Structure 1
Amino acid sequence: MSEDTTIAEKEIHNTLFYCNFFIRNIGLSFIDEIPTTYARKIIVFSSFVVVFCFLVLLLLGQIIFIIILMVNSVSVEQFIGGSNLHVFGYGIMCFGKLLTLWYKKNTFRQVVKELADIWPIVETNPEVVIIKDNSLKTLRSREIAYIAWNVLGVWFFILTPVMLHLYRLARGTPSNLGLVWRLYYPFDATKPFIHEFVYVFEIISGFACVCCMLGSDIFFISMTNHISMLLRLLQDKIKSLGQEDERGSIIQPLDCYDEIVAVVQIHQRLIRYANDLEDAFSAVNLINVLLSSVNICCVMFNIVFLDPLMEVSNKLFLGAALTQMGIVCWYADEIYRASIGVSDAVYESGWYNCNIRCRRALLLMLQRSQRPLYFTALKFNTITLNTYRSVLTTSYSYFTLLYTSYRQD
């Protein structure tokens, strides 16, 4: 491995620091060394199995609880508020992302490794340095904001029963410590020792959900950010092809075929990386699009009409839901616009100064780059900022429907 590749891997790994922190907690990693000893393999696999089982039990408990409410034909407000439907939707999204991370772990590790081969290390061009620095700084700030919403949200959900219990005791009101989530248990969860065990189970389940959500989303936006950044840097290289040098006008047609082949190879690799991410996250993106509208609608309904004691937690959940879908759509739109920009860069290059062979090569690249890179929701819909607008519009439509039903009751 060359020194430049080592430096590139180190920089890429630094951008995946937060991602790796969360997915380590679920027994996965795309940048750590692959376990070689049986003991280490057992520890890593056991971590994944434990998280998997916790999420399965959590979802089963929520599903049975929701079915019981439906069988009892409760009112709209009792169903939305009593089932914490938005939390159930969040759990489904987390479980889907856990399966995606596990199923595609080898693909993700390979993409991270191969990305180092074309990662910009030492650049003398100030424009390249500015693009790279701004891209990485913006990525880090958005990651921190997104992490804050999710971590604060789960902490408030977990601590709300404790704070309510202490508040009632301080006022001299009889009180029992409640639970975090609305689940069905085939036993009496209020009995001593059993209640403490159940409460710990719900705390661990909540943090497992957050680790799955953050690990998957941060990896997605980080790799999408890197690919779109490299596409923008590629545009600068393309624009410089065939341009006049310091000596003035060009008399003989230029032969820059080798340079064109180099940028075409980089372009093809970036397309392949983007397609790998698209294949891996296509099903997850469908779950995001379908459930985000429902989650946002239900949590807004709880905030406006129901459960004032959980208002702070629900507001943090709303912020996390809006940020989660928004940041995914933003970076999906980024890679779309960056891929479209490649065709513009070919047109803005000095193709008119090149010989026929070079012009033909550039024409082929122009034709290929006019097919933009898209992330999709399982091929049903492309993910762009228009998708985010559609999610918000749909959420509002659902909310008005619930509002009408609530007022009629």
Structure 2
Amino acid sequence: MESHKDRTESMHLILRVMQLFGLWPWSLREGEQWTISGFVKRNYRFLLHLPITFTFIGLMWLEAFISSNLEQAGQVLYMSITEMALVVKILSIWHHRSEAWQLMQELKHGPDYQLRGKEELDFWRREQRYFKWFFYIYILISLGVVYSACAGVLFLKEYELPFAYYVPFEWRNEKGYWFAYGYDMAGMTLTCISNITLDTLGCYFLFHISLLYRLLGLRLRALNNIKDEACFGRELRCIFRLHQSMRRLTVICQKIVSPYILSQIILSALIICFSGYRLQHVGIRDNPGQFVAMLQFLSVMILQIYLPCYYGNEITVHAHQLTNEVYHTNWLQCGVPIRKLLNAYMEHLKRPVTIRAGNFFAVGLPIFVKTINNAYSFFALLLNVSK
């Protein structure tokens, strides 16, 4: 009934896009790296990101450093800080590319996580479909930020770039402007797609593991329908083995997503702060395209912090709910050995399951609220300093 594609259905197109943009390995199978095509696929990421992504981000920071005042620096800092978080994400996924690829393969093909019956399959497909379409909309909104800003500056009387960066030639003329504008648009398109697809990948790993904990809860609940004690014991031991595998996957997932979530949360307060400051200085009448783009950008940035916090929180919540599922099984009808097993399992469940960002804090909704509070505090301080 189940095909392996059903398990990771929502990521098929995203992973293909990430391969095209040098963010996901084409293959890590033995022997392929010694072929010409394997060499090209392995080094394609450097050919794409060194001249565009990293150079473009460096020029953004150079523009911020040579700015003459805070207002001019604020026009570029909100985006350059965002791009710094992207640098951490790219370097992190390149460093953990083998672990990430192997984790995705295990989630897709691992026999321990095979779905049973129509109820589990329908549940899994429904949740995967919701995740897929939600992130497709998120990606389109994020790209809309870039292209609304790029379109908005074309209606201005003076030459202006959609996203400020240091241009090493005179660009405020008809010929030079289109070179600077084209590189700006290409750089922002590449960095935007890289950013949102890496966000999607990190959130998907968290989402998939939270689904496995929910699946474990469904199987514990299904123990109520088993009357034979021997069958009950066999199924319970299968659940124990599955839970142990899920604990291992949670540790691997944390290792992969922890650097990017840590950088995102640390820098997000500054990004939101400078975005709000920039929004104050962009008039809706003078430059409606830039104003709408900034408003979209601020919304996307808040969502970008919220999503990993939400999915990290889902893992903690659904892992904690397993205790209730065990308690509601027919344990009163079981013999003493099974009761002892259930009691030992409930003791094991007392260990909290959390995703930690760099071993500093647990990823969840409380850290999201704290980040927003910090952003507001920085914003108020920046307004006072700029007066």
User: TM-score of the superposition, structure 1-length normalised?
Assistant: 0.83
The answer on whether the counterparts of 1:243 and 1:353 sit within 8 Å (CA) in structure 2 is: no
* 2:255 aligned partner: 279
CA gap of 1:256–1:14, structure 2 versus 1, over 3 A, is closer
The aligned counterpart of 1:292 is 268
Shift of 1:396: 1.6
- 1:314 equivalenced with 2:309 (yes/no): no
Q: How does 1:84-163 map to 2 (within 5 A)?
A: 84-115=76-107, 116=109, 117-121=111-115, 123-124=117-118, 126=119, 128-129=120-121, 131-163=123-155
Map of 2:280 onto structure 1: 304
Q: Distance in 2 between matches of 1:243 and 1:46?
A: 54
Task: Map 1:4-403; keep pairs closer than 5 Å.
Answer: 7-8=3-4, 10-29=5-24, 38-53=35-50, 54-69=52-67, 72=68, 74=69, 76-81=70-75, 84-115=76-107, 116=109, 117-121=111-115, 123-124=117-118, 126=119, 128-129=120-121, 131-164=123-156, 168=157, 175-176=158-159, 178-190=160-172, 195-241=177-223, 245=227, 256-306=232-282, 308=284, 309=287, 310-403=290-383
Contact 2:11-2:132 at 8 Å conserved across structures = no
Residues 37-85 of structure 1: per-residue CA shift (max 9 Å, x gap):
733224323431133312221222122222222xx4x2x433323xx21
Give how far 1:119 is off: 4.0
Mapped contact 1:297–1:398 kept (Cα < 8 A)? yes
Q: How many residues align?
A: 378
CA distance in 1, matches of 2:122, 2:39: 44
The residue type equivalent to 2:99 in the other structure is T
Amino acid at match of 1:47: Y
Once the two structures are overlaid, the 10-residue window that deviates more, 297-306 or 188-197, is: 188-197
* Partner Cα separation in structure 2 for residue 390 and residue 155 of structure 1: 31
Segments of structure 1 that go 5 or more residues without pairing to the other structure are 169-174
1:336/1:372 contact within 8 Å kept: yes
Distance 2:198 2:352 in 1: 24
Unpaired stretches in structure 2, ≥5 consecutive residues:
none
The two structures, once aligned, show a CA RMSD in angstroms of 2.6
Cα pair 1:149 1:317 within 8 Å, conserved: no
Alpha-carbon distance in structure 2 between the residues aligned to 1:331 and 1:138 = 14
Partner deviation per Cα, 1:262-291 (whole Å, 9 max, x = no partner): 111111111111211111111111111111
Cα deviation, 1:200-245, whole Å, max 9, x if unaligned, reads 3322221221222122111122222222112112112123336663
Q: Read off the aligned partner of 1:234 and give its amino acid letter.
A: L
Determine helix, strand or coil for the equivalent of 1:208.
Answer: helix
Distance (whole Å) between structure 2 residues aligned to residue 393 and residue 371 of structure 1: 30
Query: In the alignment, is the contact (CA less than 8 A) between 2:143 and 2:193 conserved in 1?
Result: no
Deviation at 1:33, TM superposition (A): 7.9
Paired AA for residue 273 in structure 2: C
* Matching residue's letter, 2:60: Q
Query: Structure 1's 392 and 47: CA in aligned 2 closer, same or farther, altered over 3 A?
Result: same
CA contact (8 A) 1:62 1:182 kept: yes
Preserved CA contact (<8 Å) 1:22 1:212: no
Q: Cα 1:276–1:61, aligned 2, differ >3 Å: closer, same or farther?
A: same
Distance 1:42 1:205 in 2: 25
Deviation at 1:256, TM superposition (A): 3.4
Give the residue type in structure 2 aligned to 1:262. Answer: C
- Does the 8 Å contact 2:309/2:365 carry over to 1? yes
Asked whether the 8 Å contact 1:158–1:203 carries over to 2, the reply is yes
What SS is found at the alignment partner of 1:241?
helix
Q: Displacement of 1:255 after TM fit?
A: 6.7
Aligned mates of 2:91, 2:242 — CA distance in 1? 31
Contact kept in structure 1, 2:19 and 2:26, CA below 8 Å: no
| CA distance, structure 2, for counterparts of residue 19 and residue 244 of structure 1 | 40
CA distance in 1, matches of 2:254, 2:199: 13
Higher Cα Rg, which structure: 1
Q: Which residue of 2 aligns with 1:172?
A: none
- The range that moved more, 314-323 or 25-34, is 25-34
Task: Tell me which moved more, 364-373 or 332-341.
Answer: 364-373
CA deviations on 1:330-376 (whole Å, 9 max, x unpaired) are 11111111111122222222233333332333233222222232122
In 2 relative to 1, CA 200–329 (structure 1 residues): closer, same or farther, beyond 3 Å? same
Q: Following TM superposition, by how much is the alpha carbon of 1:192 offset from its aligned partner in structure 2, in angstroms?
A: 7.0
Could you tell me which amino acid in structure 2 is paired with residue 78 of structure 1? Q
